[in-house]
């Protein structure tokens, strides 16, 4: 029996990632065909959300229902976690009653502490530092539209945030080059960059990062928990909007991705976001469902491996 958590992409080997993506693509086809695939009958996923969510909540809850199981939505307002019950105690109690636990929280150390005391797989549904489930969907989307990302050039434009950190991990696992363009002072974690220096370069110039790229990605300028910095950041990031002018420097068949929710007119122009020649954001959002179904099946199978 192998208890496996998914706290960052680094919890998977490249070949495990590859097989999860292949399975996600297959599950999507079956789902579109109307096939009923319910290996998770009687399985329960607990979902702890300390931050808002549309895609993550709907995709995990729908995914569990489609696979024959069920999901519990737990907000800190309604559980003892929000009243200060220690994370370690909550982890031991919850994991004695459910089969998997998904957490969206602030400090990444919170999910590490929870996982250390959980007897069932724990899935990171976003922390301040990483958003690995989103990368499963992004990689699936690239593979579906363009094939393997190995050897490709990816440009990350904007904040060196949780999404950017997960792109750095993806660069290593998928073996692509990642060019990151951030305003000075908003670069990703230098230790993570140093660990991946063979594949990651940082610059402050979005044009340089995007030139001849195969895949361009961005995210909001102020993440959840940074709302009070919104106006200051909007001024700092003004030159980092991804629009048609910037995108025209990428390869002609480059794809544009955004994890959503998007702020049109800030990190992405409304025209680019809605331009299906480049933008695959709606496929990317839907793929959260399929990729996470494949992830949950993988984590539960590992328990019996």
The residues that touch ligand CP, with contacts defined as CB under 6 A, are 53-56, 126, 134, 259-260
Provide the minimum distance between the beta carbon of 164 and ligand NVA in the complex, in angstroms, as a whole number.
9
Token pair for residue 117?
A: 């005391």
Which candidate in 134, 140, 241, 292 is catalytic? 134
| 259 given a catalytic annotation | yes
Which candidate in 55, 131, 233, 290 is catalytic? 131
| 146 given a catalytic annotation | no
Q: Residues 131-150 vs ligand NVA: string with x where CB under 6 A? A: x-------------------
The answer for 302, left when phi > 0, alpha when psi is -120 to 50, beta otherwise, is alpha
Contact status, residue 191 vs residue 32, Cβ threshold 8 Å: no
| 179 given a catalytic annotation | no
Token pair for residue 153?
A: 């050039």
Residue 161 site contact among ligand NVA, ligand CP, none (CB < 5 to 8 Å, cut-off depends on kind): ligand NVA
Nearer to ligand CP (CB atom), residue 8 or residue 56: 56
Structural element, H or E, at residue 157? strand 153-157
Q: How far apart are CA 153 and CA 234, in angstroms?
A: 27
Q: How far apart are CA 160 and CA 139, in angstroms?
A: 19
Provide the minimum distance between the beta carbon of 53 and ligand NVA in the complex, in angstroms, as a whole number.
8
| SS3 category, 275 | coil
| 133 given a catalytic annotation | no
Q: Based on C-alpha coordinates, what's the Rg of the chain?
A: 19
Q: How far apart are CA 138 and CA 27, in angstroms?
A: 16
Burial class (CB in 10 A: 0-12, 13-18, 19+), 97: exposed
Q: How far apart are CA 210 and CA 102, in angstroms?
A: 34
- Stretch 183-222 residues interacting with ligand NVA (CB under 6 A): 219-220
Provide the minimum distance between the beta carbon of 129 and ligand NVA in the complex, in angstroms, as a whole number.
10
| SS3 category, 86 | coil
| 131 given a catalytic annotation | yes
Provide the minimum distance between the beta carbon of 126 and ligand CP in the complex, in angstroms, as a whole number.
6
Contact status, residue 132 vs residue 8, Cβ threshold 8 Å: yes
Residue 54 site contact among ligand NVA, ligand CP, none (CB < 5 to 8 Å, cut-off depends on kind): ligand CP
Q: How many residues lie near ligand NVA (CB under 6 A)?
A: 10
Which candidate in 108, 182, 219, 241 is catalytic? 219
Contacting ligand NVA (CB under 6 A), which of 122, 259, 273, 280?
Answer: 259
Question: 92: cis peptide before it, omega within 30°?
Answer: no
Which candidate in 5, 55, 258, 288 is catalytic? 288
Give the residues lining the site for ligand NVA (CB under 6 A).
126, 131, 161-163, 219-220, 223-224, 259
Give catalytic residues, as residue numbers. 104, 131, 134, 219, 259, 288
């Amino acid at each position: 029996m192998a208890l496996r958590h998914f706290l960052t992409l680094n919890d998977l080997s490249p070949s495990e990632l590859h097989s999860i993506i292949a399975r996600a693509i297959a599950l999507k086809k079956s789902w579109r065909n109307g096939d009923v695939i319910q290996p998770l009958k009687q399985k329960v996923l607990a979902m702890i959300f300390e931050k808002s969510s549309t895609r993550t909540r709907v995709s995990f809850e729908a995914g569990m229902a489609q696979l024959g199981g069920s999901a519990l939505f737990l907000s800190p307002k309604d559980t003892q976690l929000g009243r200060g019950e220690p994370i370690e105690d909550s982890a031991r109690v919850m994991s004695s009653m459910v089969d998997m636990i998904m957490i969206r929280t602030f400090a990444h150390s919170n999910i590490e502490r929870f996982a250390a005391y959980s007897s069932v797989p724990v899935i990171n549904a976003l922390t301040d530092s990483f958003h690995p489930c989103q990368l499963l969907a992004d990689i699936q989307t690239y593979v579906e539209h363009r094939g393997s990302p190995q050897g490709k050039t990816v440009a990350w434009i904007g904040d060196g945030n949780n999404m950017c950190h997960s792109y750095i991990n993806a660069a290593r696992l998928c073996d692509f080059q990642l060019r990151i363009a951030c305003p000075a002072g908003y670069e990703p974690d230098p230790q993570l960059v140093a660990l991946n220096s063979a594949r990651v370069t940082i610059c402050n110039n979005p044009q340089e990062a995007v030139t001849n790229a195969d895949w361009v990605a961005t995210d909001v300028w102020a993440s959840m928990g940074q709302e009070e910095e919104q106006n200051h950041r909007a001024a700092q990031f003004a030159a980092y909007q991804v629009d048609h002018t910037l995108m025209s420097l990428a390869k002609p068949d480059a794809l544009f991705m955004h994890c959503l929710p998007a702020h049109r007119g800030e990190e992405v122009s409304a025209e680019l976001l809605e331009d299906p020649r480049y933008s695959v954001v709606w496929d990317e959002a839907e793929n959260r469902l399929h990729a996470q179904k494949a992830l949950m099946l993988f984590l539960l199978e590992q328990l019996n491996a």
